[in-house]
Amino acid sequence: MRSRYSAYVLRLEPYLLATWHRSTRPESLDLADGMPVNWLGLEVKRHVALDPDHATVEFVARYKVGGRAHRIHELSRFVREKGRWYYVDGDVDQPGRT
């Protein structure tokens, strides 16, 4: 989770796509488009291993766009294939200003 957050901060789209499971991976993320995002921090709230190859991670990421603060609170699902973890998807709380 932390490496994916860092990849968003650094706009490393190839890394994000490579760590996204093929069943849910978008073709592109277009991180260079739109207003610049100023990432403020990541808090990993909990990690739950469901079995050896499935896990969830609850996190809160804070950021600013156009001077307005926002947060993402997500429960992400990950799967391990051939020893490597991939982001599958997640349930996001209603985005809101902080």
CB-based contacts of 89: which residues, under 8 Å, 6+ apart?
Answer: 24, 76, 77
pLDDT value for 75: 96
Region of 82 on the Ramachandran plot (φ > 0 left; ψ -120 to 50 alpha; else beta): left
Q: How confident is the model at residue 33, as a pLDDT? A: 78
Separation CA 89–CA 98 (nearest Å): 24
User: CB 93: neighbour CB atoms within 10 A?
Assistant: 11
Share of the chain above pLDDT 70, in %: 95
Give the CATH fold of the 2-92 domain: Nuclear Transport Factor 2; Chain: A, (3.10.450)
Look at residue 98 in the predicted model and tell me its pLDDT: 42
Q: What is the mean pLDDT of residues 3-20?
A: 96
**Confidence (pTM):** 0.88
